[in-house]
Amino acid sequence: MYETMGMAIIDRQTATLALAHALSAAERGLPVFPLSATKLPALRSPHHDEDPPVQCRGACGLPGHGVHDATTDPAAIRALFAAAPRATGYGIACGRAPHRLIGIDLDIDTTHGNDSVAALQHLALQHLFTIPATVTVLTPSGGRHLWLTGPSGVPVPNSASRLAPGIDVRGAGGYLVGPGSVTTHGRYRLAPGTAHLTPAPCPRALLRLLTPPPRPHRSSGRAAPARQGEGLVQFVRAAHEGQRNTRLFWAACRAYEHGFGDDLADALTDAALSTGLTEQEARAAIASAARLTAPRRTP
Ligand SMILES: [Zn+2]
């Protein structure tokens, strides 16, 4: 019934259920805050009309700071929801003690032939880790969120498609839509058979992939980028039809982010040609990767 409801109808029961789910997540040690049906923080910033804009992360003591509002204190959670009567769900802050939650967001994109579940399994084989049984949330669009926990002192950054196409990571400063939340696209729910689990520790090899590499040592010269670039070229060469463009674009983005995009452009183009893309298509994808990853220039 909720799956088909319009945005206009937000009944009391939905709000009450959202609060109940949020309280139960908090009981398990997960810091929560209210979300609207668009998955955005339900409370408006108390600084929304201040000029110039304020960079406040809640130090002012007022609610309305998004993920910075998240708390495990039941009285504070009730107060947040009381101030946000239109909340239909709740967010869970990632990266915070005690669990230091890491969300692996596996998108299902059938139109682009992206199979992020297969991509994660491929990474697991390649880097010799197993994906542990853990709490899994099914999203209304057919995707899934795997909940993992991180060790203390190792902040995991948020990233989009850095691990592989279609895999986003929610870490420090990010949040996950909690199970039981209702959005305009439908309800988030726990995957059958995972509700009784506790979030499993993130495998070490996966954690290494999720944390930024240490700054390269000056004496290491150009050896490391060349090796890394070779992996990207292989990744493009192994693409099936339907993944060719996304893989090429993804690989080119990584190469430009690491500062050797221009050096690798020809090798990436050759690899793309071997999968059946035309040179024009390949060059266009690489050029747009270069544009997207270029450091923002201030006018
Ligand atoms: Zn503030």
The Cα–Cα gap between 203 and 212 comes to: 16
At 3 the pLDDT is: 43
Instruction: Name residue, tokens 């101030």.
Output: 83
DSSP label at residue 142: S
At 299 the pLDDT is: 38
Give me the helices (H) in the chain, please: 12-27, 74-83, 116-127, 204-210, 223-237, 244-257, 261-274, 279-293
Instruction: Name residue, tokens 């690899």.
Output: 271
Q: Residues 6 or more apart from 133 whose CB is under 8 A from it?
A: 194, 197, 200
Of residues 188, 109, 114, 181, the one with CA closest to residue 145: 188
At 158 the pLDDT is: 92
At 2 the pLDDT is: 46
Gap from CA of 40 to ligand 1 centroid (Å): 17
At 11 the pLDDT is: 74
CB neighbour burial string for 83-122, b if at least 16 within 10 angstroms, e if fewer: bbeebbbbbbbbbbeebbbbbbbbbeeeeeebbbbebbee
Query: Which pTM does this prediction carry?
Result: 0.69
Gap from CA of 2 to ligand 1 centroid (Å): 34
Which stretches in the chain have pLDDT values below 70?
1-10, 109-114, 213-228, 295-299
Query: Would you state the structure tokens that stand for residue 123, as one six-digit string?
Result: 């990474």
Gap from CA of 231 to ligand 1 centroid (Å): 45
For the chain, the C-alpha Rg in angstroms (whole number) is 21
SS3 202: coil
The Cα–Cα gap between 41 and 88 comes to: 10
The Cα–Cα gap between 11 and 19 comes to: 13
Gap from CA of 46 to ligand 1 centroid (Å): 6
> Do the beta carbons of residue 236 and residue 102 sit within 8 Å?
no
At 227 the pLDDT is: 64
Q: Residues 6 or more apart from 246 whose CB is under 8 A from it?
A: 112, 113, 114, 165, 166
Residue 276: which region, alpha, beta or left (left: phi > 0; alpha: psi -120 to 50)? left
At 110 the pLDDT is: 62
Q: Which amino acid, one-letter code, is at 177?
A: V
Gap from CA of 67 to ligand 1 centroid (Å): 12
Gap from CA of 93 to ligand 1 centroid (Å): 18
> Do the beta carbons of residue 85 and residue 11 sit within 8 Å?
no
At 220 the pLDDT is: 45
Gap from CA of 68 to ligand 1 centroid (Å): 10
